[in-house]
Amino acid sequence: MTDKKITPSLLNKYKADKHKITMLTAYDFYFAKLIDECGCELILVGDSLGTVIMGYENTVPVSLDEIIHHSRAVKKGVSRAMIISDLPFLSYQASKEDAMRSAGRILKESGVNAVKLEGGVEIADTIKFLTSHGVAVMGHVGLMPQRVNQMGGYKTQGKGPDSRKRVMDDALAVADSGVFALVLEGVEHGLASEITARVKVPTIGIGAGPGCDGQVLVIYDLLNMAHAPLPKFVKIFADAGETIKKGVNGYLCEVRDGSFPPKAQ
């Protein structure tokens, strides 16, 4: 763990040194503070907040205002990690100017360090436009949850030759567009390793195998606090969900049986 503020240049050094990079999602002050204190390098205010916080079916309905609201809270809890916020669906696709306005709102109104965009070849010029105007951008290729309706579900990308070529082309285009890092989601493991070897920027995998420069998980998943079935690649590192239930049930029982609060001594 380093006490240094995490920056893109430090992430590049980590890639060169083969030092694995860690990223987790956070959506509020307290979780962000805990994650930062543990030494996680990157904190993502993900549009996954739609499913784990807002109760939406997927990430599509998440609004820019919701991202900004949660980004503000996360920013207040972090002193050293680099904070990245997702640009939500249809907040950046219509034009470069739309993307700049959306990114500008997030950065200026919340104080986070960077934004993340889903997309490949078709979004590379938009990323170049943002980065040329001083916006730090993280890319995201492979499985793109914002496109779940178009993709027909959450399926591994890069299995067949056509899919493999598309994912590789997307990764190379985005990596060359000025991003400081690239998320590879749901990418066939061998292909993810190949992409990691070919691009100069750090790759952060989720369901993409151990060959990436780093890994990211949704914090609620690894703590077993999700309300939906977990993806196969997720490992539960602590059963916080059961701990919370135990605490709540203990409170309910003691209030109902009269043992809490205790009688005055």
Q: Which residue has the tokens 């299995």?
A: 159
Render 21-89 in DSSP notation, one character per residue.
EEEEE--SHHHHHHHHHHT-SEEEE-TTHHHHTS--SSSTT--HHHHHHHHHHHHHT-SSSEEEEEPPT
Structure-token pair, residue 45: 């205010």
Give bridge partners of residue 215 from the DSSP assignment: 22, 205
Return all residues near 97 (Cβ < 8 A) that are at least 6 apart: none
Q: Which residue has the tokens 């060169």?
A: 16
CA pair distance 41, 23, nearest whole angstrom: 6
Return all residues near 242 (Cβ < 8 A) that are at least 6 apart: 224
The one-letter code for the residue type at 237 is F
**Selected catalytic residue, list 41, 66, 118, 185:** 185
CA pair distance 85, 69, nearest whole angstrom: 11
Q: Is 185 a catalytic residue?
A: yes
Three-class SS state of 191: helix
The one-letter code for the residue type at 111 is G
Structure-token pair, residue 57: 């079916």
* Side-chain half-sphere exposure of 192, counting CA atoms within 13 A: 28
210 prior amide bond cis, ω within 30: no
User: Catalytic residue numbers?
Assistant: 185
